[in-house]
Amino acid sequence: MNLGEILTADTANGPGIRLSIFVSGCTNHCKGCFQPQTWDFDYGRPYTPTLEDYLLRELGQSYYTGLTILGGEPFEPSNQEALLPLIRRIRRELPGKSIWMFTGFTYDKDLVPGGCRYTAATDEILDSIDVLVDGRFVLEEKDIALHFRGSRNQRILDMRETRLRGEIVLSPLNN
């Protein structure tokens, strides 16, 4: 996996001050994507143990609310495999930090058993994150007044409650 960008002190991709990472590689190719350079799986720099250590040190700063993982596409199969150890490590070493993920795929269609992006890592990732913003960016539904999403079709899912109840639970931030 490669990281296309790392944003420190980000306030646009989730509540509070966040460390945001943009993974490289996306097969969705949404029209109007704001990061089309991240479609290329080779864009950016390789994700290494040294880079992971840096991310944990940075995220450990007291002013961070949590980590946001965007893309590209975090739920491309190769990216899931690479992100799972990072997510495990954050949960173990920084349990008070929230984890948000953005995906162009749809939780209840693509990220379930039999779905097009379901892998051996998917359930553990979904069980370990706090919020999932799902759905393709649709240029015709773009709305700059929305918080934490680009188009009206996208949903902000409370993953803790969604996984607990076994049904979609929207975050209050969805409004």
pTM above 0.75, yes or no: yes
Residue 73 maps to which CATH number? 3.20.20.70
Report, as an integer, the average pLDDT of 97-113: 97
Under the banding of pLDDT at 50, 70 and 90, the label for residue 80 is very high
Residue-range definition of the domain harbouring residue 68: 2-174
Give mean pLDDT, residues 137-160: 92
Average pLDDT over residues 116-137: 97
Q: What is the pLDDT of residue 42?
A: 96
pLDDT computed for residue 145 by the predictor: 87
User: What pLDDT was estimated at residue 127?
Assistant: 98
Residues 6 or more apart from 142 whose CB is under 8 A from it?
32, 150, 151
**Residue 21 pLDDT:** 98
User: How far is the C-alpha of 168 from the C-alpha of 23, rounded, in Å?
Assistant: 26
Specify the residue for token string 């306030």: 11
Would you say 24 and 47 are in contact if contact means Cβ atoms under 8 Å apart?
no
- Rounded to whole angstroms, the Cα distance separating 154 from 25 reads 20
Largest Cα span, the chain: 41
Amino acid residing at 108: D
Query: How many domains would you assign to the chain?
Result: 1
Q: What pairs with residue 99 in β-bridges?
A: 67
